[in-house]
Amino acid sequence: MHARLIEVSARPNSTITDVVAVLESDLALCAEILKLVNSAFFGLSGDVESVGRAVSLLGLDTIHALTLSEKVFGPGATTPKHLDVVQLRRTGLRAAGYARTIATSEGWAPDIAGRAFLTALLRDLGLLVLAANIAAFDQVRAVSTGDPWVRSRAEMDAFGCTVPEASAYLLGLWGFSELVVDAVACQPTRPDDTGATSVAQVVSFAHHRTQVSHVTADPGADIWLDEARSQRWNDLCDGAAEMSG
């Protein structure tokens, strides 16, 4: 399904109608997209009752992410039995919701906000492959900390790469844009990394926020995570979390 969606949307004369036709060939996927679009994660006013409307409102990047997410996390997917795939997807959706909420509040264009959603949602899909090494997976799982950089070092020690690096490799193979692949690969991103894109910074904050109740501002973090912005983004995440339950 995802390969067909990429093929159709890449055609120069492709229209939303063509994309919708591909999506509507899978009724279960349509139901999942509409359920998510109407959830509090997106904060849309009014019910979205058609896939065509969902595509128009969210953009192709977000639709691609939801389609791939359903494929790799959904029923029938081949995943390591010891990995809680439901929780993995739930965390990805929560981070994606945070990222999109922050991006929208910053006044980003819908396609850039959609890219932030996509990047956050698919950031950890590489774990579906890496977790096949049970001993290494258990080693990482034993690291109980909300510090993303401690966890990143643990992933490198156990797997020889970080989970986002593995995710970026897969996304590159599957034809995602270089902008998305790069934003995933550099996770987690430090607030004082002036070379990181705005999408990467927001996604890093969003995923960090799924692990802790409040992300603290870094005193040396230039513009990305000063105290005022940190507080505003934390408040936005609090609101999104309350709405989604």
Per the structure block, which two tokens stand in for 142?
């034993």
Work out the percent of the chain whose per-residue pLDDT is above 70. Answer: 86
pLDDT at 165: 95
Q: What is the CATH number of the domain that holds 62?
A: 1.10.3210.10
The count of other CB atoms within 10 Å of the CB of residue 41 is 19
- Cα dihedral 167, 173, 179, 183, rounded to 10, equals 10
The pTM of the full predicted model, rounded to 2 decimals, is 0.78
DSSP-derived secondary structure letter, 188: S
Question: 33-86: per-residue pLDDT in tens?
Answer: 787 777 766 666 667 888 888 888 777 777 777 777 766 666 555 566 778 888
Q: Which residues contact 111 (CB under 8 A, 6 or more apart)?
A: 59, 61
CA distances from 136 to 63, 114, 223 (A): 33, 33, 37
Question: 5-29: per-residue pLDDT in tens?
Answer: 767 766 777 777 888 888 888 877 7
Full domain range(s) for residue 217: 2-244
Angle, vertex CA 112, rays to CA 192 and CA 89, nearest 5: 85
Give me the number of domains the chain comprises.
1
